[in-house]
Amino acid sequence: MSTTTLPAVHVAAAEQAARRRTFAVISHPDAGKSTLTEALALHARAITEAGAVHGKTGRRSVASDWMEMERSRGISVTSAVLQFAYRDCVLNLLDTPGHADFSEDTYRVLAAVDCAIMLVDAAKGLEEQTRKLFDVCRHRGIPVITFVNKWDRPGRDALELLDEIEREFRLKPTPVTWPVGIAGHLRGLMDVRHPDRMLRYTRAPGGAHAALEETITADQAADQEGADWSQAVEEVELLGADAAVHEADSFLAGRSTPVFFGAAMPNIGVRLLLDAVVDLAPPPAARPLETGGDRPVDAPFSGLVFKVQANMDPSHRDRIAFLRVCSGVFRRGMTVTRAASGKPFSTKYAHSVFGQDRSMVETAYPGDVVGLVNAASLRVGDTLYAERPAEFPGMPTFAPEHFAVVRPVDIGRSKQFRRGIAQLDEEGVVQVLASDLRGEQAPVLAAVGPMQFDVVIHRMEGEFAAPVRLEPLPYRLARLTDASGGEALNRSRIVRGESLVRSRDKAVLALFPDRWQANSFQRAFPDALLEHLIAAHDGVV
């Protein structure tokens, strides 16, 4: 059917979707992810001055790290959304937590993007979390652009890094830019598509502003940079002979990754990376449905809730559900249906989000992220739709490995305590487990990593005025069971462990100190249900 016969709203959705690029920045901790996020926004002129996680005294913090805990510790512990225009496109950039303890939040974000920028530290190469995230992107079919960061500091050989990517991920690295000068002695960059020139940079003081970029000819580069330029030319010719050349089909199919070199802190090579997002990254496309088939971008409105966050604005104390628009046109005030319940949901309060800042949004298109304010009924993984029913696959819940009883410090703040714990559970900050034996004033918190507990302590005191204390439990393993299996575990005198009910979905979890105790229970009660949960360290969703 030609677009001339389609309703105008469908044409608008398809045309606007083609202008969208929705992508995540992912990496191992300390690879410079939040700094790169800020640098990308700076080059798009969405902000006038870049912050840095570990910047100089007096330099402002990054826009994507809006929590006080993030700013004081210099780490990202929650995902953030930045939307801005660049060239003729609208970019939706989703920053993610780098720390492995917050893997669940990162994986939820990856369900909402069409592409990912993977940051690799020039000195450290492929670290543990980098490997996991590459695997997740491959599993989800998300094409990956690689940015080798911190080339202004001593590091490894560029060709060695490419060999490591190809060897470990069976992914062909195809450099688009190439460093002139070894790591720690960066003289400039060569765009391999234009090998007759070199880009040279003059850093802005402190890296708060975009570095001055100057283009010089190959003859000038040879004259001024000598052996560094000659080596870069030889390496690029070697890569060409090895067929390490970017091909769109191979990239989109997940068989290759275009590679860029630079340094996010001084904003070197960032413009070229930003151009690559527009030129290489795919726009929103049809998304698979839970029941089979796809939802095309020009279908009636549908969207996926991939994150819920409370108290982003301390002066409002509200709750925002982040919705990725998957198809059709979103209009503020429209009434949509929540697939999980079949009940209508009003979208009267809808915002466009930039870090912690937000503004009212009237219209959004496939690829855009909308913040639905005071969406108390929405949960992570919910699908909203209009006209034609749709439901997207839900979000995975990972196997917790750390457990602690949480209690209010002040029993007089019990109401605030219960409200705060319920909110953190709904957001997915931690899993909340309960049992009749412990009671609602002593729930058990279950986490992938111990830093999640630090977030709970910080937010319970700062946001809910209900300080808490934690009492660690001796469990490190969780298995899914049922009511009869839970009863068997609780009455067993052979095995150390206990069963608890997950508040969010009423699933029964069997907790054990170690794998040996779990195996002993299975031998003692062979008919008891004991299923593995998805492990965050497996990198599988």
Class of domain 402-538: alpha beta
**Topology of the domain comprising 23-80+94-100+114-279:** Rossmann fold (3.40.50)
Distinct helix (H) and strand (E) counts, the chain: 14, 30
Q: Tell which residue, 121, 89, 120, 93, has the closest CA to residue 109.
A: 93
- Structure confidence by residue, pLDDT tens digits, 264-283: 999 999 999 999 999 999 99
Taking the C-alpha atoms of residue 165 and residue 249, their distance in angstroms, rounded to an integer, is 19
Taking the C-alpha atoms of residue 12 and residue 258, their distance in angstroms, rounded to an integer, is 31
pTM of the model: 0.82
pLDDT the model gives residue 181: 97
Q: Where in the chain is the domain with CATH 3.30.70.3280?
A: 402-538
pLDDT the model gives residue 408: 94
DSSP-derived letter for residue 268 is B
Q: Where in the chain is the domain with CATH 2.40.30.10?
A: 287-385
Helix 227-241 with 158-169: angle, nearest 10 deg: 20
pLDDT the model gives residue 308: 86
The answer to whether 201 and 209 are in contact (CB under 8 A) is no
pLDDT the model gives residue 344: 95
* Adjacent-strand bridge partners of 477: 512
Taking the C-alpha atoms of residue 277 and residue 335, their distance in angstroms, rounded to an integer, is 33
- For domain 287-385, the question of CATH label 3.40.50.1370 is answered with no
* DSSP of 315-360: TT--EEEEEEEEES-EETT-EEEETTTTEEEE--SEEEEETTEEEE
Per-residue pLDDT 10s for the chain (541 aa) are 344 455 666 778 999 999 999 999 988 777 888 889 888 888 877 655 545 433 333 444 444 444 454 444 444 445 578 888 999 999 999 877 654 555 677 778 888 999 999 999 999 998 877 777 887 788 888 999 999 999 999 999 999 999 999 998 889 999 999 999 999 999 999 999 999 999 999 887 666 677 889 999 999 999 999 999 999 999 999 998 888 889 999 999 999 999 999 999 999 999 999 999 999 999 999 999 999 999 999 999 999 999 888 766 655 567 889 999 999 999 999 999 999 999 999 998 888 876 567 788 899 999 999 999 877 789 889 999 999 999 999 887 788 999 999 999 999 999 999 999 998 988 888 899 998 778 778 899 999 888 889 989 998 998 889 999 999 999 999 999 999 999 999 988 888 899 999 988 899 999 999 999 999 999 999 999 999 887 655 544 3
Q: Where in the chain is the domain with CATH 3.40.50.300?
A: 23-80+94-100+114-279
Neighbouring CB atoms inside 10 A of 222's CB total 16
pLDDT the model gives residue 75: 46
pLDDT the model gives residue 77: 44
Taking the C-alpha atoms of residue 151 and residue 141, their distance in angstroms, rounded to an integer, is 29
The answer to whether 80 and 10 are in contact (CB under 8 A) is no
8 exposure class (CB count in 10 Å sphere: 0-12, 13-18, 19+): exposed
- Is residue 99 annotated as involved in ligand binding? yes
- Is residue 95 annotated as involved in ligand binding? yes
pLDDT the model gives residue 63: 45
- Is residue 98 annotated as involved in ligand binding? yes
pLDDT the model gives residue 484: 94
- Is residue 96 annotated as involved in ligand binding? yes
- Is residue 481 annotated as involved in ligand binding? no
pLDDT the model gives residue 505: 86
Give the position of tokens 């002139």.
180
pLDDT the model gives residue 330: 96
pLDDT the model gives residue 359: 80
pLDDT the model gives residue 50: 46
